Structure formats: C-alpha cells, structure tokens
Amino acid sequence: MTSEEKLLEARPTIIQSEKGGTSIPQPEADQGRLARTLVTAAAPAGFFVLFMAGWYLVSYVIMTPRRRFLMPPPHEIIAEGFGKSDNLIQILTGLWQTTRVAFLGLVIAIAIGLVLATLMSQARWIENSVYPYAVVLQTVPIIALVPLIGLWFDYNFQARVIVSVIISLFPIITNTLFGLRSADSSHHDLFTLHGATRMTRLRKLMIPGSVPAMFTGFRISAGLSVIGAIVSDFFFRQGAPGIGRLLDIYRLNIQMEMLYVAIFWSSMLGVVMFWGFGMAGNLLTRKWHDASLAGG
C-alpha cells in the first residue's frame, strides 16, 4: 500500500476530528512521547547524580581539610549562595545588571545582523564589501578590544553593551545570510516565472525560508552576548557590578562558595537565553519541520 493510499484511508478520521475542533486523539502516541521524554530526561539526571557524587568525593576524600575550600561541597555552596539573603541580593542584582547588558546587546546585534544579512543577500558587491569586516570582527580577539572600548565609553553600561554586540554579531549575519540563500533554485524559478519583484521574492520566499537558520544564529549569539556582558564587566572593574565584576571580587576575597554560585548563575543565564531562542524557533517552524505533530 502506498503512503498515499494510507493517507486517503485515514482521511475520514482526520476530517471528523478536525470538524469536532479537537486534535486527533492519540493515546498511544502520547504515551510513547511521555516514555521518550522520561528516557531523555533520565540520562542527564543520572549524569547529574554521578557528577554530584564525584564532587562530594573530591571535596571530602581527595581534598585535605586544609584545601577543601578550593572545592567546597555543594550543600555549603547552596547554604552560602541561596541561604543568606545579603549574598542572594548581591548576586541577583549583579545578574540583573548582566542580563540587561546581554539582552540589549543581543537585540541590537540581531537588528544590525538582520539588516546587514538582508542587504548582503541582495547584491554580491554589498556582500563582498561587508563580509571581510564581519570576519575581521570575528577573528580579532575581543579581549584585546575591551580596554579600548572601556576607555572610549567611560566603562559604563553602554560600553558593556557594545562589547556584547560586537561579540554576538557574526553568527547572526552568517546564519541569516545562509538562510536567505537556502531557497531552492526551482523556487526562485517559480517567482521569476510569475514576475515577482525583488521585494516580493524577499518577503515571500527568502525571509520565510531563512527562519530556521536565523534562529540558529540567534541561539548561538544569545550565549555569546552573555559572554560579552561578563567579559566586559570583568575587565572594566568600574560601574555598576554585574556577574563578571562579582566573579572577580569573590576571587580576590577567596569567597569560594560565592564564586561557584556566580558561575552557576551566569551559566543559567546563558542556558535560558539559548533555550528561549531554541523554543521560539521551534514554535515558529514546527508545523513545517516536524511531521510527527499530528494535532497541528
């Protein structure tokens, strides 16, 4: 039986359920999905348990009591970072500061990146004139620029945002440009045959087709913008402290528990940004990428 016939056979059910306004009931499929989710959750959970066990082992067995401060056991870190309100407020304030820098930096990078990529997709000469600079921006070790940017912009919020923009711009340009170029030549032929203008082609073919790649770029850049925010903060040592500054302070004061807490929060920030864009991208494109979503 061909897949075509199967679909035709399945037709009455699909129509009924859609007329009823509900998605196709699929108890087995839902169970299967639940089981799969459990399995995919179980592996990282198992690893987490092992990791914690290993940590305690290092803290209590391998480290001598005198050197234990280098790797304090997890419960002490939690007590220090989450149990004491002063510490908690300090770190959350720093986190908020860093989040603002990273987020604003990312938004600006996205705006610039989308515009540049769109222009580059429209003419080779624009691509040829812009691309080398984008590459240079990417290959210059950003750390080397940080002091200069700090000096220019007075080590303030603005300066941090600029570092964040510079460090997160490149993946947005390259991925979006790749996405805009990804439309099949036969699709382009269709648009040519029907006299589509450059603008129509961009709006109805190239931009929608670039969405998956675009979001890949956003996701990568989200992580980078957090790095940019932390690095600039770490180097500037001035202005309202963010996580980067706190990392440095904790290191100098040998507040080892808090150092770990700061690492934890900055990772969480990166992870949340990465996932946020991943989910947004999936939501936008799931209907055309994921055949398994029968409910749609």
Partner 1 sequence: MADTRHDAVDTSAPVLQFRGVTKVFPDGTHALSDITFDVRRGEFVSIVGPSGCGKSTILRIASGLLPASRGDVNLADDNIGYVFQDATLLPWRTVRKNVELFGELHKVDKEELTRIAQDAIDLVGLTDFEDHHPRRLSGGMKMRVSLARSLTLNPGLFLFDEPFGALDEITRERLNEELLNLFLSENFGAVFITHSLYEAVYLSTRVIAMSPRPGRLIQEFEVPFKYPRRPELRFEPEFAELTGRVSAALRGGSQ
Helix (H) or strand (E) holding 104: helix 85-122
Cβ atoms of 147 and 235 within 8 Å: the answer is yes
Choice between 7 and 123, CB closer to partner 1: 7
| Residue 288 is a binding residue for partner 1 (CB under 8 A) | yes
At its nearest, how many Å lie between partner 1 and the CB of residue 282?
Answer: 14
SS3 35: helix
| Residue 191 is a binding residue for partner 1 (CB under 8 A) | yes
At its nearest, how many Å lie between partner 1 and the CB of residue 286?
Answer: 10
Q: Please pick, from the candidates 124, 194, 199, 252, the single residue that binds partner 1 as defined by CB under 8 A.
A: 194
Q: How many CA atoms lie within 13 A of 63 on its CB side?
A: 16
| Residue 192 is a binding residue for partner 1 (CB under 8 A) | yes
| Residue 9 is a binding residue for partner 1 (CB under 8 A) | no
Q: Name the residue among 94, 95, 89, 84 with its Cα closest to residue 257.
A: 84
Diameter over CA atoms, the chain: 78
Q: Give the interface segment with partner 1, choosing from 110-118, 127-135, 139-147, 182-190 (CB under 8 A).
A: 182-190
Cβ atoms of 17 and 24 within 8 Å: the answer is yes
Alpha carbon distance 212, 80 (integer Å)? 42
Residues 200-239 that bind partner 1 (CB under 8 A): 200, 204-205, 208-209, 211
| Residue 190 is a binding residue for partner 1 (CB under 8 A) | yes
Choice between 158 and 285, CB closer to partner 1: 285
Cβ atoms of 172 and 137 within 8 Å: the answer is no
Tokens 């061909």 identify what position? 2
Cβ atoms of 213 and 202 within 8 Å: the answer is no
| Residue 21 is a binding residue for partner 1 (CB under 8 A) | no
| Residue 15 is a binding residue for partner 1 (CB under 8 A) | yes
Sites of contact with partner 1 (CB under 8 A):
2-7, 11, 14-15, 18, 184, 186-187, 189-196, 200, 204-205, 208-209, 211, 285, 287-291, 294, 296
